[in-house]
Amino acid sequence: MIKFIDLCEKEPYEVFKRFYDKAQKAGQKAIEAVAVSNFNDAERMVDSRFVNLKYIKNNEWIFFSNYNSPKSVALIEPNNRVSVLVYWQSINVQVRIKANIFKTNEEFSDQHFLSRDKHKNALAISSDQSRKVDSFSSIKSKFDDTLKEKSLLMTRPSYWGGFSFIPFYFEFWQGQEFRLNKREVYEEINGDWIKYTLQP
């Protein structure tokens, strides 16, 4: 689930929330899963991955990760822009988002870390995310050792925290019969949200 905190009152945010509520009522699984794509400048290619969107706080959309992972480094440098894709099969709605991304403030990351299950925190602390390793057993061993350190589990490591992205473009796609799909766009131009419709 996504937690909404003081949701921005601009129209595209309200439209997203209505679709979210509808999908949740329809029993959508993994409703918080969103695909985040960016251009990896070092590899000269586009990278995509699913993340769990934890919060929408006013106009910030927040997920968490290891800051040292290749994913995180590529997200922030050098472009600071991402494309985000949501698809809720239960209601046949797709949401495309273009956004600027940055690190969430440390206080909010601390609060979220302390609210989590100890097993999740043990993994966040013990994992050198996406790095090569000799065997899975070494990962499990390090995880088990970390889990025993209760004081360690209460302190967020500096290399783990939130990412916030702020959208400047939304496209709401509603699949319909005969592919007569409804596509409505909200684009922020000079501080104003402009709405228009696209051909199917």
In tens, the pLDDT along 133-173 reads 777 877 777 778 777 776 767 789 999 999 999 999 999 99
CATH for 3-115+158-198? 2.30.110.10
**Burial level of 9, CB count in 10 A (0-12/13-18/19+)?**
exposed
What are the angstrom distances between the C-alpha of 10 and each of 13, 16, 23, 143? 6, 10, 21, 43
Q: Is the pLDDT of residue 1 over 90?
A: yes
Alpha carbon 169 to its chain centroid, in Å, reads: 16
Predicted local distance difference test score (pLDDT) of residue 139:
76
pLDDT, tens digit (0-9, with 9 covering 90-100), for 61-96? 999 998 887 777 777 666 789 999 999 999 999 999
d(C-alpha 25, C-alpha 19), whole Å: 10
Residue 189: count of CB within 10 angstroms of its CB: 9
Higher-confidence residue of 114 and 23: namely 23
Q: Is the pLDDT of residue 35 over 80?
A: yes
- The residues that bridge with 38 in the sheet, in sequence order, are 47
**What are the structure tokens assigned to 188, written together?**
């922020």
Mean pLDDT value of segment 1-14: 97
